């Protein structure tokens, strides 16, 4: 049943709480700013009408707090509620970005320590918290790579190499940077094709953008050779950190030869992003790129004055934090590509990530990766064995996610979209579908480390039952969902002819 809008349940003359009587002289609003009821028809509701309306809406909402959300490549895991508690503390929630630095040293200390923690986790020498999301972090990273080459007087480099299994944002970031995308194929084991890489490496290549583990849920088996080849050609390696939760606490991207990488704080370090809320995409770099980072970063003032020191480097100095002899200041590196976000980034997400890292510690973060891989392989094995769902590159151990295919034997005419819609009737959010593009009828599933065995079994049971329905009653899938407030939607029309406001 569809919940009516507030305009449909509006009743003339009905009101909620009343404003107190004015204790100052009443003054008219400037002419031209006043609108009457015909020009601005606002709904008229009691407080109870409003409360019930929004509670009903919240109960219809599919969320990570209510349902299993196995979106491949999106890491929709549980967000510990202590994160919300810390992000809501008055000292953080009521802070203003224009306050004097002497009044916000506590918040800056949190940001400084988060820079250090991310550097330690990834192996990079410096981190900026500026970018507001992973895609913006990518753009910042590619701009830094380009500026690095130009700063050395190397003007020939115009190309970025991108595997065909990459996130769509990789070629988009490259194009926005004014560079040319060269797509490289995957080999028969799902890795970047080494022969194609060698064939395309020359003095015109700015670098390679590589996701590891990749979007097939596979660890790049030749990662060390890949990064060596790119470096030997004078290029740089960008790491798409979207899938960091599969290796966090186990290996450091910088030690694999990655030069620059964004973190998706809203994925790896909680704060699920599926609701369209804010994210955060900090970027880490090796030392030779540190001078190009977007600012401002948080730095220790006493170190800033020392040339050519990098005040945001991780290490003993960073661990000291502010003392009577130090204070935290905003700092922009000398060759910075400039600011990419207003103020200092999405601070609320930074607080949540900081809390998550501090709560888990080094051992806990490693368990995150271990459990993510264990859960994905358990689910993969059940679907492969009992549901007869084909699995792309099934002979390899998957990492935190895997790609099943909606191609069921004895169920011709049933597609991935039908399977995903039917899952809604079983109470599950559909997985990512038709991505990566190189796998036919892709169902990209990421169970995350926070789901229990019971939750995984319920999901597997649902997919196995749907496979049976596809063979005996395919129309049941073609007409799904049956239990949702609205049935099968014209998704293309909804995307292209969106109506955001009823009146």
H-helix or E-strand spanning residue 299: strand 297-300
442: three-class secondary structure by DSSP: strand
Residue in 131, 155, 76, 89 with CA at minimum distance from that of residue 262: 131
145: three-class secondary structure by DSSP: helix
Tally of CB atoms within 10 A around 21: 5
The pLDDT tens digits along the chain (503 residues) read 789 999 999 999 999 888 899 999 999 989 888 888 788 888 999 999 999 999 999 888 888 888 999 998 888 898 899 999 999 999 999 999 999 999 999 999 999 999 999 999 999 999 999 999 999 999 999 999 999 999 999 999 999 999 999 998 999 999 999 999 999 999 999 999 999 999 999 999 999 999 999 999 999 999 999 999 999 999 999 999 999 999 999 999 999 999 999 999 999 998 877 545 688 999 999 999 999 999 999 988 755 554 444 555 544 445 555 555 578 889 899 999 999 999 988 999 999 999 999 999 999 999 999 999 999 999 999 999 887 899 999 999 999 999 999 999 999 999 999 999 999 999 999 999 999 999 999 999 999 999 999 999 999 999 999 999 999 999 999 999 999 988 898 888 888 888 776 65
Our measurement of the distance from residue 39's CA atom to the centroid of its chain's CA atoms, rounded to an integer in Å, reads: 41
Question: 501 φ, ψ to 5°?
Answer: -140, 130
Tokens of 211: 């996701």
Residue indicated by tokens 């030069």: 259
Contacts of 317 (CB under 8 A, 6+ apart): 300, 303
Distance, first Cα to last Cα, the chain: 22
Please report which residue ranges of 294-396 form alpha helices under DSSP H: 301-304, 316-320, 347-382
pTM for the complete prediction? 0.90
Q: How far apart are CA 42 and CA 40, in angstroms?
A: 6
Question: 231 φ, ψ to 5°?
Answer: -65, -40
Residue in 69, 64, 73 with CA at minimum distance from that of residue 401: 73
């Amino acid at each position: 049943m569809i919940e009516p809008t507030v305009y449909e349940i509006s009743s003339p003359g009905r009101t909620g709480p009343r404003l107190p009587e004015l204790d100052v002289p009443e003054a008219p609003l400037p002419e031209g700013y006043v609108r009457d009821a015909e020009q601005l028809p606002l709904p008229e509701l009691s407080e109870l009408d409003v409360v019930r309306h929004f509670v009903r809406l919240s109960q219809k909402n599919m969320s990570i707090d209510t349902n299993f959300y196995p979106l491949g490549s999106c890491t929709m895991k549980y967000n510990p509620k202590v994160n919300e508690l810390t992000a809501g503390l008055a000292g953080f929630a009521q802070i203003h970005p224009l306050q004097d630095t002497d009044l916000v040293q506590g918040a800056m200390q949190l940001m400084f320590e988060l820079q250090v923690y991310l550097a330690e986790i990834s192996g990079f020498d410096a981190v900026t918290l500026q970018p507001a999301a992973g895609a913006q972090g990518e753009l910042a990273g590619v701009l830094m790579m380009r500026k690095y080459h130009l700063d050395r007087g190397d003007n020939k480099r115009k190309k970025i190499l991108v595997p065909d299994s990459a996130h769509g944002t990789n070629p988009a970031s490259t194009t926005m940077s004014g560079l040319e995308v060269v797509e490289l194929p995957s080999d028969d084991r799902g890795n970047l094709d080494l022969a194609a890489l060698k064939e395309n490496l020359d003095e015109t290549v700015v670098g390679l953008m590589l996701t590891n583990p990749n979007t097939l849920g596979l660890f790049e088996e030749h990662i060390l050779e890949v990064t060596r080849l790119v470096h030997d050609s004078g290029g740089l390696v960008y790491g798409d950190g979207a899938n960091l939760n599969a290796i966090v606490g186990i290996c450091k991207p910088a030690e694999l030869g990655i030069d620059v990488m964004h973190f998706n704080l809203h994925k790896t370090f909680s704060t699920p992003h599926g609701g369209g809320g804010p994210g955060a995409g900090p970027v880490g770099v090796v030392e030779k790129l540190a001078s190009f980072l977007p600012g401002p970063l948080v730095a220790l003032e006493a170190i800033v004055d020392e040339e050519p020191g990098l005040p945001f480097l991780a290490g003993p100095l960073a661990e000291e934090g502010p003392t009577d002899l130090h204070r935290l200041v905003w700092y922009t590196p000398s060759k910075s590509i400039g600011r990419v976000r207003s103020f200092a980034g999405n601070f609320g997400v930074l607080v949540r990530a900081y809390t998550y890292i501090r709560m888990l510690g080094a051992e806990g973060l490693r368990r995150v990766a271990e459990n993510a891989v264990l859960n994905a392989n358990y689910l993969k094995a059940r679907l492969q064995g009992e549901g007869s769902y084909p699995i792309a590159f099934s002979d390899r151990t998957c990492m935190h996610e895997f790609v099943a295919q909606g191609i069921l034997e004895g169920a011709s005419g049933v597609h991935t979209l039908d399977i995903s819609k039917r899952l809604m009737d079983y109470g599950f959010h559909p997985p990512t579908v038709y991505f990566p593009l190189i796998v036919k009828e892709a169902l990209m599933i990421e169970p995350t480390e926070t789901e229990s065995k019971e939750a995984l079994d319920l999901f597997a049971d649902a997919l196995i039952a749907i496979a049976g329905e596809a063979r005996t009653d395919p129309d049941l899938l073609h007409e799904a969902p049956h239990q949702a407030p609205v049935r099968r939607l014209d998704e293309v029309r909804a995307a292209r002819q969106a109506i955001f406001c009823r009146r």
